[in-house]
Amino acid sequence: MVKASKWNAGDVITVSFLDGDPNVQSKVQKVAQTWASPQLARLTFDFRKNTTNTMVRISFKSSGSWSVIGTTCKQITNQTEPTMNYGWLTPLSTDDEIQRVVLHEFGHALGLIHEHQNPGSKINWNKQNVYRDLSQPPNSWSKAVIDHNMFEPYAKAETNFTAVDASSIMMYPIPKTWTTDGFSAGLNGSLSSTDKKFIHDQYK
């Protein structure tokens, strides 16, 4: 959790769609609400129609799926500019895939970082294998981008964090070949028990 991008408990976060299939929009909205419950985050996602004058603006047009972190969305004042994107979600996407991606991106919207960049991370990377795999399609990342996205943790002073949770919805899939000690993480599709406790503690 990035401290500077954290919402206040009780906040109402307005959300709108800039484009996209109505059925997919409905599924995104339903999954997003998983985070906003008395048992998890004491926040409200207020999805609005016929307006883009909102804090979180969702598009499906660009490639990739991403979201700005937490309250950073307030700094993007152009109401036609998305703060969240789902590049590969379509009417043909499975419910499991929609759940996995939407939970992850709305986690970012609440201020959560990628779990492998947790400052408490003790992942022993086999960097050469990571460079080899992520420099190829579909990522095609440069070494500098791989370093930034994979190997640079957040500072302890700027985050609230737990011990590394391999089951977190915020964890990238990590094959065993990317580590020197056999650590791995799968393609997590739901909130882990640590995710639930942590977000509750941050927004209770």
Q: What is the pLDDT of residue 64?
A: 86
pLDDT digits (tens, 9 = 90+) for 82-134: 999 999 999 999 999 999 999 999 999 999 999 999 998 889 999 999 999 99
Q: Which two tokens stand for residue 96?
A: 């499991």
Query: What's the N-to-C CA distance of the chain in angstroms?
Result: 14
Query: Would you say 109 and 70 are in contact if contact means Cβ atoms under 8 Å apart?
Result: yes
Q: What is the pLDDT of residue 78?
A: 95
What amino acid is encoded at 167 in this protein? S
Q: What is the pLDDT of residue 121?
A: 83
Q: How many residues does the chain have?
A: 204
Task: Provide the mean pLDDT of the chain.
Answer: 96
- Measure the CA–CA gap between 195 and 73, rounded to whole angstroms: 22
Q: Which two tokens stand for residue 33?
A: 């609400």
pLDDT digits (tens, 9 = 90+) for 162-177: 999 999 999 999 999 9
Q: Please compute the mean of the pLDDT values over residues 181-195 and round it to a whole number.
A: 96
Q: What is the pLDDT of residue 138?
A: 82
Q: What is the pLDDT of residue 96?
A: 98
pLDDT digits (tens, 9 = 90+) for 16-71: 999 999 999 999 999 999 999 889 999 999 999 988 899 999 999 988 899 999 99
pLDDT digits (tens, 9 = 90+) for 136-155: 988 899 999 999 999 999 99
- Measure the CA–CA gap between 175 and 186, rounded to whole angstroms: 8
pTM score, two decimals? 0.94
Q: What is the pLDDT of residue 99?
A: 98
- Measure the CA–CA gap between 84 and 62, rounded to whole angstroms: 10
- What domains sit in the chain, N to C, each tagged with a CATH number? 1-112 (3.40.390.10), 114-204 (no CATH)
